[in-house]
Structure 1
Amino acid sequence: MHPILIKIGSVEIRYYGVMIALAFIAGAIIGEREAKRKGFQPGLVYDLLSYLLVAAIIGARLYYVIFSELTWFLSHPMEILAIWKGGLSLHGGVLGGVLTGIWYCRKKGLPVWKFTDVLAPSVALGQAIGRIGCTMNGCSYGRPTTLPWGIVFTDPNSLAPLGIPLHPTQIYELMMSFILFLGLWYWRKKVPFDGQLFITYLIGYGVIRFFLEFFRGDSLLLFNLVPVPHAISVVIILIGIGLYLHRKGGRCQTTMS
Protein backbone atom coordinates (compact mmCIF):
# COMPACT_ATOMS: atom_id res chain seq x y z
CA MET A 1 0.00 0.00 0.00
CA HIS A 2 1.39 3.39 -1.00
CA PRO A 3 0.12 6.52 0.81
CA ILE A 4 1.39 8.99 -1.80
CA LEU A 5 -0.59 9.26 -5.03
CA ILE A 6 1.51 11.93 -6.74
CA LYS A 7 4.73 13.65 -5.71
CA ILE A 8 6.16 16.62 -7.59
CA GLY A 9 9.24 17.95 -5.87
CA SER A 10 8.28 18.58 -2.26
CA VAL A 11 4.55 18.65 -3.07
CA GLU A 12 2.66 15.47 -2.22
CA ILE A 13 -0.90 14.45 -3.00
CA ARG A 14 -1.91 11.56 -0.79
CA TYR A 15 -4.59 8.96 -1.36
CA TYR A 16 -5.94 9.74 2.10
CA GLY A 17 -6.86 13.32 1.29
CA VAL A 18 -8.20 12.41 -2.15
CA MET A 19 -10.49 9.70 -0.76
CA ILE A 20 -11.75 11.96 2.04
CA ALA A 21 -12.67 14.55 -0.60
CA LEU A 22 -14.38 11.91 -2.75
CA ALA A 23 -16.26 10.65 0.31
CA PHE A 24 -17.72 14.10 0.97
CA ILE A 25 -18.59 14.61 -2.71
CA ALA A 26 -20.32 11.23 -3.03
CA GLY A 27 -22.17 11.74 0.24
CA ALA A 28 -23.33 15.20 -0.84
CA ILE A 29 -24.65 13.93 -4.18
CA ILE A 30 -26.58 11.08 -2.53
CA GLY A 31 -27.84 13.37 0.23
CA GLU A 32 -29.02 16.07 -2.18
CA ARG A 33 -30.94 13.49 -4.18
CA GLU A 34 -32.64 12.17 -1.05
CA ALA A 35 -33.39 15.70 0.21
CA LYS A 36 -35.23 16.52 -3.01
CA ARG A 37 -37.24 13.30 -2.72
CA LYS A 38 -38.31 14.30 0.80
CA GLY A 39 -39.38 17.74 -0.36
CA PHE A 40 -36.53 19.87 0.96
CA GLN A 41 -35.35 22.97 -0.85
CA PRO A 42 -32.75 22.16 -3.55
CA GLY A 43 -29.18 22.93 -2.57
CA LEU A 44 -29.59 22.47 1.19
CA VAL A 45 -27.20 19.52 1.41
CA TYR A 46 -24.58 21.29 -0.68
CA ASP A 47 -24.91 24.33 1.57
CA LEU A 48 -24.56 22.17 4.67
CA LEU A 49 -21.49 20.48 3.21
CA SER A 50 -19.32 23.57 3.65
CA TYR A 51 -20.07 23.58 7.39
CA LEU A 52 -20.01 19.81 7.74
CA LEU A 53 -16.63 19.41 6.07
CA VAL A 54 -14.95 21.79 8.50
CA ALA A 55 -16.75 20.48 11.60
CA ALA A 56 -16.17 16.81 10.82
CA ILE A 57 -12.47 17.31 10.13
CA ILE A 58 -11.99 19.42 13.28
CA GLY A 59 -13.88 16.88 15.40
CA ALA A 60 -12.00 13.95 13.88
CA ARG A 61 -8.63 15.61 14.36
CA LEU A 62 -9.27 16.80 17.92
CA TYR A 63 -10.38 13.33 18.96
CA TYR A 64 -7.21 11.83 17.49
CA VAL A 65 -4.94 14.46 19.05
CA ILE A 66 -6.52 14.21 22.51
CA PHE A 67 -6.71 10.42 22.71
CA SER A 68 -3.52 9.46 20.87
CA GLU A 69 -0.34 11.37 21.74
CA LEU A 70 -1.51 14.63 23.29
CA THR A 71 1.85 15.37 24.93
CA TRP A 72 3.69 14.94 21.63
CA PHE A 73 1.24 17.15 19.77
CA LEU A 74 1.54 19.85 22.42
CA SER A 75 5.29 19.80 21.82
CA HIS A 76 4.77 19.88 18.03
CA PRO A 77 1.63 22.06 17.63
CA MET A 78 2.06 22.58 13.88
CA GLU A 79 1.67 18.83 13.38
CA ILE A 80 -1.92 19.13 14.58
CA LEU A 81 -2.68 20.78 11.24
CA ALA A 82 -1.00 18.03 9.17
CA ILE A 83 -4.20 16.10 8.51
CA TRP A 84 -2.96 14.97 5.09
CA LYS A 85 -0.67 12.55 6.94
CA GLY A 86 -3.65 10.79 8.49
CA GLY A 87 -4.87 10.89 12.06
CA LEU A 88 -8.60 11.55 11.70
CA SER A 89 -10.90 9.59 13.98
CA LEU A 90 -14.33 8.60 12.69
CA HIS A 91 -15.77 8.83 16.19
CA GLY A 92 -14.73 12.47 16.43
CA GLY A 93 -15.87 13.17 12.89
CA VAL A 94 -19.31 11.69 13.54
CA LEU A 95 -19.69 13.74 16.73
CA GLY A 96 -18.63 16.95 14.99
CA GLY A 97 -20.88 16.22 12.03
CA VAL A 98 -23.95 15.38 14.13
CA LEU A 99 -23.65 18.51 16.27
CA THR A 100 -23.17 20.67 13.18
CA GLY A 101 -26.11 19.05 11.42
CA ILE A 102 -28.38 19.77 14.40
CA TRP A 103 -27.12 23.36 14.57
CA TYR A 104 -27.74 23.81 10.84
CA CYS A 105 -31.30 22.49 11.13
CA ARG A 106 -32.03 24.90 13.97
CA LYS A 107 -30.50 27.78 12.03
CA LYS A 108 -32.57 27.06 8.91
CA GLY A 109 -35.74 26.05 10.75
CA LEU A 110 -35.63 22.52 9.33
CA PRO A 111 -37.24 19.44 10.92
CA VAL A 112 -34.22 17.86 12.61
CA TRP A 113 -35.27 14.22 12.57
CA LYS A 114 -36.46 14.28 8.98
CA PHE A 115 -33.27 15.95 7.79
CA THR A 116 -30.99 13.58 9.71
CA ASP A 117 -32.74 10.72 7.92
CA VAL A 118 -31.73 12.38 4.66
CA LEU A 119 -28.08 12.41 5.71
CA ALA A 120 -27.79 8.95 7.29
CA PRO A 121 -27.14 6.91 4.11
CA SER A 122 -24.73 9.58 2.85
CA VAL A 123 -22.63 9.39 6.01
CA ALA A 124 -22.40 5.59 5.83
CA LEU A 125 -21.35 5.75 2.17
CA GLY A 126 -18.78 8.45 2.92
CA GLN A 127 -17.27 6.36 5.69
CA ALA A 128 -16.92 3.39 3.36
CA ILE A 129 -15.13 5.48 0.73
CA GLY A 130 -12.93 7.14 3.33
CA ARG A 131 -11.63 3.76 4.49
CA ILE A 132 -10.06 3.27 1.06
CA GLY A 133 -7.81 6.19 1.97
CA CYS A 134 -7.04 4.58 5.33
CA THR A 135 -6.09 1.35 3.58
CA MET A 136 -3.61 3.15 1.35
CA ASN A 137 -2.31 5.29 4.22
CA GLY A 138 -1.86 2.48 6.71
CA CYS A 139 -3.81 4.20 9.48
CA SER A 140 -6.49 2.36 11.49
CA TYR A 141 -4.44 -0.80 11.00
CA GLY A 142 -5.18 -4.20 12.50
CA ARG A 143 -3.49 -6.64 14.81
CA PRO A 144 -0.95 -9.16 13.49
CA THR A 145 -2.61 -12.21 11.94
CA THR A 146 -1.74 -15.53 10.32
CA LEU A 147 -4.91 -15.54 8.23
CA PRO A 148 -4.36 -15.74 4.46
CA TRP A 149 -6.02 -12.36 3.82
CA GLY A 150 -3.68 -10.44 6.11
CA ILE A 151 -2.12 -7.41 4.43
CA VAL A 152 1.53 -6.40 4.63
CA PHE A 153 2.61 -2.76 4.52
CA THR A 154 6.05 -2.11 3.05
CA ASP A 155 6.05 1.59 2.19
CA PRO A 156 8.12 3.59 4.73
CA ASN A 157 5.54 6.40 4.51
CA SER A 158 2.85 4.07 5.82
CA LEU A 159 1.53 4.56 9.35
CA ALA A 160 1.18 0.82 9.93
CA PRO A 161 3.92 -1.51 11.20
CA LEU A 162 5.96 -2.71 8.23
CA GLY A 163 6.59 -6.24 7.03
CA ILE A 164 4.00 -7.93 9.28
CA PRO A 165 0.71 -9.50 8.07
CA LEU A 166 -2.09 -7.51 9.71
CA HIS A 167 -5.85 -7.82 9.89
CA PRO A 168 -7.18 -5.55 7.10
CA THR A 169 -9.44 -3.69 9.51
CA GLN A 170 -9.76 -0.80 7.07
CA ILE A 171 -11.27 -3.18 4.51
CA TYR A 172 -13.46 -4.84 7.16
CA GLU A 173 -14.92 -1.44 8.01
CA LEU A 174 -15.21 -0.46 4.35
CA MET A 175 -17.35 -3.53 3.64
CA MET A 176 -19.46 -3.21 6.78
CA SER A 177 -20.08 0.50 6.22
CA PHE A 178 -21.09 -0.15 2.62
CA ILE A 179 -23.50 -2.87 3.74
CA LEU A 180 -24.92 -0.40 6.28
CA PHE A 181 -25.31 2.15 3.48
CA LEU A 182 -27.15 -0.37 1.28
CA GLY A 183 -29.47 -1.27 4.15
CA LEU A 184 -30.26 2.36 4.93
CA TRP A 185 -30.75 3.20 1.26
CA TYR A 186 -33.15 0.28 0.78
CA TRP A 187 -35.09 1.05 3.96
CA ARG A 188 -35.25 4.82 3.54
CA LYS A 189 -38.78 4.78 2.03
CA LYS A 190 -40.16 2.39 4.63
CA VAL A 191 -39.29 3.92 8.01
CA PRO A 192 -42.38 4.35 10.21
CA PHE A 193 -41.28 7.63 11.82
CA ASP A 194 -38.82 10.45 11.20
CA GLY A 195 -35.45 9.86 12.80
CA GLN A 196 -35.51 6.08 12.67
CA LEU A 197 -33.10 5.91 9.73
CA PHE A 198 -30.59 8.13 11.51
CA ILE A 199 -31.02 6.20 14.76
CA THR A 200 -30.45 2.94 12.86
CA TYR A 201 -27.26 4.43 11.46
CA LEU A 202 -26.06 5.37 14.96
CA ILE A 203 -26.68 1.89 16.35
CA GLY A 204 -25.24 0.21 13.25
CA TYR A 205 -22.12 2.36 13.31
CA GLY A 206 -21.63 1.73 17.03
CA VAL A 207 -21.95 -2.04 16.57
CA ILE A 208 -19.51 -2.03 13.64
CA ARG A 209 -16.88 -0.07 15.54
CA PHE A 210 -17.33 -2.14 18.70
CA PHE A 211 -16.78 -5.35 16.75
CA LEU A 212 -13.81 -4.02 14.79
CA GLU A 213 -11.92 -2.84 17.86
CA PHE A 214 -11.21 -6.47 18.72
CA PHE A 215 -9.06 -6.59 15.58
CA ARG A 216 -7.51 -3.11 15.64
CA GLY A 217 -3.84 -2.79 16.41
CA ASP A 218 -3.81 0.91 17.23
CA SER A 219 -6.53 1.17 19.88
CA LEU A 220 -6.02 3.59 22.75
CA LEU A 221 -6.75 2.35 26.26
CA LEU A 222 -8.91 4.08 28.86
CA PHE A 223 -7.30 3.68 32.30
CA ASN A 224 -4.92 1.21 30.60
CA LEU A 225 -7.77 -1.28 30.50
CA VAL A 226 -10.64 -0.53 28.10
CA PRO A 227 -10.06 0.62 24.51
CA VAL A 228 -11.38 4.18 24.14
CA PRO A 229 -13.26 3.34 20.89
CA HIS A 230 -14.97 0.42 22.65
CA ALA A 231 -16.25 2.70 25.40
CA ILE A 232 -17.42 5.36 22.95
CA SER A 233 -19.08 2.75 20.72
CA VAL A 234 -21.08 1.47 23.68
CA VAL A 235 -22.18 5.04 24.46
CA ILE A 236 -23.25 5.56 20.83
CA ILE A 237 -25.25 2.31 20.85
CA LEU A 238 -26.97 3.21 24.12
CA ILE A 239 -27.79 6.71 22.86
CA GLY A 240 -29.22 5.18 19.70
CA ILE A 241 -31.39 2.74 21.65
CA GLY A 242 -32.56 5.54 23.95
CA LEU A 243 -33.47 7.76 21.00
CA TYR A 244 -35.33 4.90 19.35
CA LEU A 245 -37.42 4.21 22.45
CA HIS A 246 -38.10 7.93 22.87
CA ARG A 247 -39.15 8.45 19.25
CA LYS A 248 -41.17 5.24 19.10
CA GLY A 249 -42.93 6.11 22.36
CA GLY A 250 -43.76 9.59 21.11
CA ARG A 251 -45.17 8.17 17.89
CA CYS A 252 -47.33 5.67 19.78
CA GLN A 253 -48.74 8.43 22.01
CA THR A 254 -49.51 10.58 18.96
CA THR A 255 -51.25 7.65 17.24
CA MET A 256 -53.37 6.83 20.30
CA SER A 257 -54.43 10.44 20.81
Structure 2
Amino acid sequence: MNFPQIDPVIIEIGPLALRWYGMMYLLGFLMAYLLISHLSHLRAMPLKRDQVADLVFYCVIGVIVGGRLGYVLFYNPAHFLSHPLEIFAVWEGGMSFHGGLLGVVVAAVWFVRSRQLPLLLTADILVMAAAPGLGFGRIGNFINAELWGRVTEVPWGMVFPGAGPLPRHPSQLYQAALEGLVLSVVLYVLHRRQARPGVPFFTFIALYGAFRFLVEFFREPDAHLGLLWGAATMGQLLSLPMILLGAVGVFWCAKRKN
Protein backbone atom coordinates (compact mmCIF):
# COMPACT_ATOMS: atom_id res chain seq x y z
CA MET A 1 0.00 0.00 0.00
CA ASN A 2 1.15 3.51 -0.76
CA PHE A 3 0.98 6.08 1.99
CA PRO A 4 -2.09 8.32 1.50
CA GLN A 5 -0.86 11.76 0.53
CA ILE A 6 -2.24 14.00 3.26
CA ASP A 7 -1.18 17.63 3.32
CA PRO A 8 0.14 18.21 6.87
CA VAL A 9 -1.12 21.82 6.63
CA ILE A 10 -4.87 22.24 7.03
CA ILE A 11 -4.99 25.93 6.14
CA GLU A 12 -2.33 28.56 5.55
CA ILE A 13 -2.86 32.31 5.83
CA GLY A 14 0.27 34.29 5.08
CA PRO A 15 3.03 33.20 7.48
CA LEU A 16 0.52 31.39 9.72
CA ALA A 17 -0.27 27.73 9.14
CA LEU A 18 -2.64 25.40 10.96
CA ARG A 19 -1.19 21.89 10.84
CA TRP A 20 -2.88 18.58 11.49
CA TYR A 21 -0.29 17.72 14.14
CA GLY A 22 -1.05 20.90 16.07
CA MET A 23 -4.78 20.25 15.61
CA MET A 24 -4.34 16.83 17.23
CA TYR A 25 -2.77 18.47 20.27
CA LEU A 26 -5.64 20.97 20.47
CA LEU A 27 -8.20 18.16 20.22
CA GLY A 28 -6.35 16.28 22.95
CA PHE A 29 -6.38 19.28 25.30
CA LEU A 30 -10.07 19.97 24.57
CA MET A 31 -10.94 16.33 25.23
CA ALA A 32 -8.93 16.46 28.46
CA TYR A 33 -10.90 19.48 29.67
CA LEU A 34 -14.25 17.82 28.88
CA LEU A 35 -13.28 14.52 30.48
CA ILE A 36 -11.93 16.13 33.65
CA SER A 37 -15.20 18.05 34.00
CA HIS A 38 -17.25 14.89 33.43
CA LEU A 39 -15.20 12.61 35.68
CA SER A 40 -15.05 15.11 38.52
CA HIS A 41 -18.85 14.78 38.75
CA LEU A 42 -18.83 11.02 38.20
CA ARG A 43 -16.28 10.46 41.00
CA ALA A 44 -17.63 13.21 43.31
CA MET A 45 -14.38 15.14 42.97
CA PRO A 46 -14.49 18.68 44.47
CA LEU A 47 -13.31 20.51 41.33
CA LYS A 48 -14.79 23.84 40.26
CA ARG A 49 -14.86 24.95 36.63
CA ASP A 50 -11.99 27.40 37.04
CA GLN A 51 -9.95 24.71 38.81
CA VAL A 52 -10.48 22.36 35.85
CA ALA A 53 -9.10 25.00 33.49
CA ASP A 54 -6.14 25.65 35.81
CA LEU A 55 -5.40 21.92 36.11
CA VAL A 56 -5.41 21.49 32.34
CA PHE A 57 -3.13 24.52 31.96
CA TYR A 58 -0.57 23.18 34.44
CA CYS A 59 -0.64 19.76 32.79
CA VAL A 60 -0.10 21.30 29.33
CA ILE A 61 3.00 23.06 30.65
CA GLY A 62 4.15 19.80 32.25
CA VAL A 63 3.67 17.89 28.98
CA ILE A 64 5.61 20.41 26.91
CA VAL A 65 8.48 21.00 29.34
CA GLY A 66 8.77 17.39 30.52
CA GLY A 67 8.32 15.95 27.03
CA ARG A 68 11.05 18.15 25.57
CA LEU A 69 13.51 17.62 28.42
CA GLY A 70 12.81 13.89 28.33
CA TYR A 71 13.65 13.78 24.64
CA VAL A 72 16.84 15.76 25.23
CA LEU A 73 18.01 13.55 28.11
CA PHE A 74 16.79 10.12 26.94
CA TYR A 75 17.23 10.23 23.18
CA ASN A 76 19.90 12.70 22.07
CA PRO A 77 21.84 14.27 24.98
CA ALA A 78 25.14 14.57 23.07
CA HIS A 79 23.58 16.60 20.26
CA PHE A 80 21.82 19.04 22.57
CA LEU A 81 24.90 19.37 24.75
CA SER A 82 26.69 20.64 21.64
CA HIS A 83 23.70 22.75 20.50
CA PRO A 84 21.98 23.90 23.74
CA LEU A 85 19.81 26.56 22.08
CA GLU A 86 18.06 23.85 20.05
CA ILE A 87 16.52 22.57 23.29
CA PHE A 88 13.98 25.39 22.98
CA ALA A 89 13.14 24.66 19.32
CA VAL A 90 10.14 22.48 20.12
CA TRP A 91 8.54 23.38 16.79
CA GLU A 92 11.18 21.27 15.05
CA GLY A 93 9.89 18.12 16.79
CA GLY A 94 11.32 15.83 19.42
CA MET A 95 9.08 15.01 22.38
CA SER A 96 9.26 12.06 24.77
CA PHE A 97 6.11 10.51 26.26
CA HIS A 98 7.99 9.28 29.31
CA GLY A 99 9.40 12.75 29.94
CA GLY A 100 5.97 14.30 29.38
CA LEU A 101 4.46 11.89 31.90
CA LEU A 102 7.02 12.90 34.53
CA GLY A 103 6.33 16.56 33.75
CA VAL A 104 2.59 16.09 34.23
CA VAL A 105 3.16 14.22 37.51
CA VAL A 106 5.25 17.10 38.88
CA ALA A 107 2.74 19.73 37.74
CA ALA A 108 -0.26 17.77 39.03
CA VAL A 109 1.31 17.07 42.44
CA TRP A 110 2.06 20.76 42.87
CA PHE A 111 -1.50 21.68 41.85
CA VAL A 112 -3.10 19.06 44.09
CA ARG A 113 -1.10 20.05 47.16
CA SER A 114 -1.72 23.76 46.66
CA ARG A 115 -5.50 23.14 46.37
CA GLN A 116 -5.64 20.36 48.98
CA LEU A 117 -7.26 17.86 46.61
CA PRO A 118 -7.13 14.04 46.87
CA LEU A 119 -3.93 12.98 45.12
CA LEU A 120 -4.79 9.50 43.84
CA LEU A 121 -8.27 10.39 42.63
CA THR A 122 -6.91 13.41 40.79
CA ALA A 123 -4.30 11.17 39.17
CA ASP A 124 -7.01 8.72 38.14
CA ILE A 125 -8.97 11.46 36.39
CA LEU A 126 -5.89 12.92 34.71
CA VAL A 127 -4.76 9.67 33.08
CA MET A 128 -8.27 9.05 31.75
CA ALA A 129 -8.26 12.57 30.32
CA ALA A 130 -4.84 12.03 28.75
CA ALA A 131 -5.54 8.72 26.99
CA PRO A 132 -7.55 10.11 24.02
CA GLY A 133 -4.84 12.72 23.48
CA LEU A 134 -2.28 9.95 23.09
CA GLY A 135 -4.38 8.48 20.29
CA PHE A 136 -4.76 11.87 18.59
CA GLY A 137 -1.02 12.43 18.81
CA ARG A 138 -0.24 9.13 17.09
CA ILE A 139 -2.68 9.97 14.31
CA GLY A 140 -0.76 13.23 13.94
CA ASN A 141 2.47 11.23 13.62
CA PHE A 142 0.85 9.14 10.89
CA ILE A 143 -0.32 12.20 8.94
CA ASN A 144 3.21 13.63 9.20
CA ALA A 145 4.60 10.29 7.91
CA GLU A 146 7.00 10.07 10.87
CA LEU A 147 7.87 7.42 13.45
CA TRP A 148 7.06 4.70 10.93
CA GLY A 149 7.41 0.99 11.55
CA ARG A 150 9.88 -1.65 10.50
CA VAL A 151 9.97 -3.28 7.08
CA THR A 152 7.24 -5.89 6.72
CA GLU A 153 5.46 -8.19 4.27
CA VAL A 154 1.99 -7.91 5.84
CA PRO A 155 -0.77 -6.88 3.36
CA TRP A 156 -1.36 -3.54 5.12
CA GLY A 157 2.31 -2.52 5.05
CA MET A 158 2.79 1.03 3.74
CA VAL A 159 5.50 2.71 1.72
CA PHE A 160 6.18 5.91 3.67
CA PRO A 161 7.76 8.93 1.97
CA GLY A 162 11.37 9.27 3.06
CA ALA A 163 11.51 5.69 4.41
CA GLY A 164 12.71 3.92 1.29
CA PRO A 165 10.85 1.78 -1.26
CA LEU A 166 9.90 -1.10 1.05
CA PRO A 167 6.54 -1.37 2.87
CA ARG A 168 6.57 -0.81 6.62
CA HIS A 169 4.27 -1.37 9.57
CA PRO A 170 1.98 1.66 10.18
CA SER A 171 3.05 1.47 13.82
CA GLN A 172 1.62 4.93 14.53
CA LEU A 173 -1.86 3.48 13.95
CA TYR A 174 -1.09 0.49 16.18
CA GLN A 175 -0.21 2.90 18.96
CA ALA A 176 -3.26 5.08 18.30
CA ALA A 177 -5.52 2.03 18.66
CA LEU A 178 -3.86 0.65 21.80
CA GLU A 179 -2.77 3.80 23.65
CA GLY A 180 -5.76 5.87 22.59
CA LEU A 181 -8.84 3.70 22.06
CA VAL A 182 -8.21 0.55 24.13
CA LEU A 183 -6.67 2.40 27.05
CA SER A 184 -9.51 4.95 27.10
CA VAL A 185 -12.16 2.22 27.19
CA VAL A 186 -10.43 0.29 30.00
CA LEU A 187 -9.96 3.40 32.15
CA TYR A 188 -13.50 4.64 31.62
CA VAL A 189 -14.92 1.27 32.64
CA LEU A 190 -12.87 1.45 35.84
CA HIS A 191 -14.23 4.92 36.57
CA ARG A 192 -17.81 3.83 35.87
CA ARG A 193 -17.35 0.97 38.33
CA GLN A 194 -15.99 3.40 40.93
CA ALA A 195 -12.63 1.65 41.17
CA ARG A 196 -10.57 2.32 44.28
CA PRO A 197 -8.54 5.54 44.08
CA GLY A 198 -5.21 4.85 42.40
CA VAL A 199 -6.32 1.76 40.47
CA PRO A 200 -7.05 3.64 37.20
CA PHE A 201 -3.78 5.57 37.49
CA PHE A 202 -1.58 2.53 38.00
CA THR A 203 -3.58 0.58 35.39
CA PHE A 204 -2.71 3.33 32.93
CA ILE A 205 0.97 3.14 33.86
CA ALA A 206 1.08 -0.65 33.47
CA LEU A 207 -0.96 -0.89 30.26
CA TYR A 208 0.79 1.99 28.52
CA GLY A 209 4.14 0.40 29.34
CA ALA A 210 2.94 -2.98 28.04
CA PHE A 211 1.43 -1.52 24.85
CA ARG A 212 4.51 0.58 24.12
CA PHE A 213 6.83 -2.38 24.78
CA LEU A 214 4.80 -4.51 22.35
CA VAL A 215 4.56 -1.93 19.55
CA GLU A 216 8.30 -1.24 19.72
CA PHE A 217 8.81 -4.65 18.08
CA PHE A 218 7.09 -3.22 14.98
CA ARG A 219 8.37 0.37 15.17
CA GLU A 220 11.62 1.44 13.51
CA PRO A 221 14.21 2.26 16.21
CA ASP A 222 15.53 5.81 16.38
CA ALA A 223 18.27 6.09 13.76
CA HIS A 224 20.80 7.70 16.12
CA LEU A 225 20.20 5.10 18.85
CA GLY A 226 19.41 1.84 17.06
CA LEU A 227 18.95 -1.25 19.19
CA LEU A 228 20.40 -1.19 22.69
CA TRP A 229 21.89 -4.23 24.39
CA GLY A 230 21.62 -5.99 21.04
CA ALA A 231 17.82 -6.18 20.79
CA ALA A 232 15.94 -3.62 22.92
CA THR A 233 14.87 -0.12 21.93
CA MET A 234 15.03 2.91 24.20
CA GLY A 235 11.23 2.91 24.31
CA GLN A 236 11.22 -0.65 25.63
CA LEU A 237 13.82 0.06 28.28
CA LEU A 238 11.82 3.06 29.50
CA SER A 239 8.59 1.03 29.48
CA LEU A 240 9.78 -1.87 31.62
CA PRO A 241 9.83 0.17 34.88
CA MET A 242 6.34 1.43 34.02
CA ILE A 243 4.99 -2.13 33.74
CA LEU A 244 6.53 -3.09 37.08
CA LEU A 245 5.46 0.10 38.87
CA GLY A 246 1.94 -0.13 37.47
CA ALA A 247 1.45 -3.78 38.47
CA VAL A 248 2.73 -3.17 42.02
CA GLY A 249 0.62 -0.01 42.30
CA VAL A 250 -2.61 -1.73 41.22
CA PHE A 251 -2.02 -4.51 43.75
CA TRP A 252 -1.26 -2.02 46.52
CA CYS A 253 -4.36 0.11 45.80
CA ALA A 254 -6.64 -2.91 45.57
CA LYS A 255 -5.45 -4.35 48.88
CA ARG A 256 -4.93 -1.27 51.03
CA LYS A 257 -7.51 -0.17 53.56
CA ASN A 258 -9.66 2.88 52.79
- Give the TM-score normalised by the residue count of structure 1: 0.86
Say yes or no: does 1:180 pair with 2:190: no
TM-fit CA distance, 1:11: 4.0
What are the equivalent positions in structure 2 for 1:126-137 lying under 5 Å apart? 126-137=133-144
Taking the aligned partners of 2:10 and 2:90, their CA distance within structure 1 comes to: 16
Structure 2's unaligned 5+ residue stretches are 1-5
Taking the aligned partners of 2:90 and 2:30, their CA distance within structure 1 comes to: 18
TM-fit CA distance, 1:182: 1.2
CA contact (8 A) 1:17 1:84 kept: no
What does residue 168 of structure 1 align with?
Answer: 170
What are the equivalent positions in structure 2 for 1:1-257 lying under 5 Å apart? 1-39=6-44, 40-43=46-49, 44-154=51-161, 161-177=163-179, 178-219=181-222, 220=225, 221-222=227-228, 226-251=232-257
Distance 1:239 1:227, change over 3 A: same
Taking the aligned partners of 2:78 and 2:148, their CA distance within structure 1 comes to: 22
Taking the aligned partners of 2:41 and 2:25, their CA distance within structure 1 comes to: 24
TM-fit CA distance, 1:69: 2.8
CA contact (8 A) 1:199 1:243 kept: yes
Taking the aligned partners of 1:15 and 1:81, their CA distance within structure 2 comes to: 22
TM-fit CA distance, 1:139: 2.9
- Residue 145 of structure 1 aligns to a residue whose secondary structure is coil
TM-fit CA distance, 1:87: 1.6
**Count of residue pairs brought into register by the alignment:** 247
Structure 1's unaligned 5+ residue stretches are 155-159
Taking the aligned partners of 2:61 and 2:132, their CA distance within structure 1 comes to: 18
AA matched with 1:250:
R
TM-fit CA distance, 1:196: 0.7
Deviations 1:152-201 (A, max 9, x none): 233xxxxx625442211110011112111012112212144111111111
- Residue 217 of structure 1 aligns to a residue whose secondary structure is coil
Taking the aligned partners of 1:79 and 1:9, their CA distance within structure 2 comes to: 25
CA contact (8 A) 1:23 1:127 kept: yes
Deviations 1:101-156 (A, max 9, x none): 222111211111111122222111111111111111233221122222122233xx
Deviations 1:33-65 (A, max 9, x none): 111222322223221111110111111111222
- Identity over the aligned pairs, expressed in percent? 34
Moved more, 47-56 or 10-19: 10-19
Deviations 1:198-227 (A, max 9, x none): 111111111110101111103444456532
CA contact (8 A) 2:206 2:242 kept: yes
CA contact (8 A) 2:24 2:133 kept: no
Distance 1:59 1:139, change over 3 A: farther
CA-atom RMSD, angstroms? Answer: 2.1
CA contact (8 A) 1:64 1:89 kept: yes
- Residue 11 of structure 2 aligns to a residue whose secondary structure is strand
CA contact (8 A) 2:25 2:137 kept: yes
- Give the TM-score normalised by the residue count of structure 2: 0.86
Taking the aligned partners of 1:72 and 1:9, their CA distance within structure 2 comes to: 33
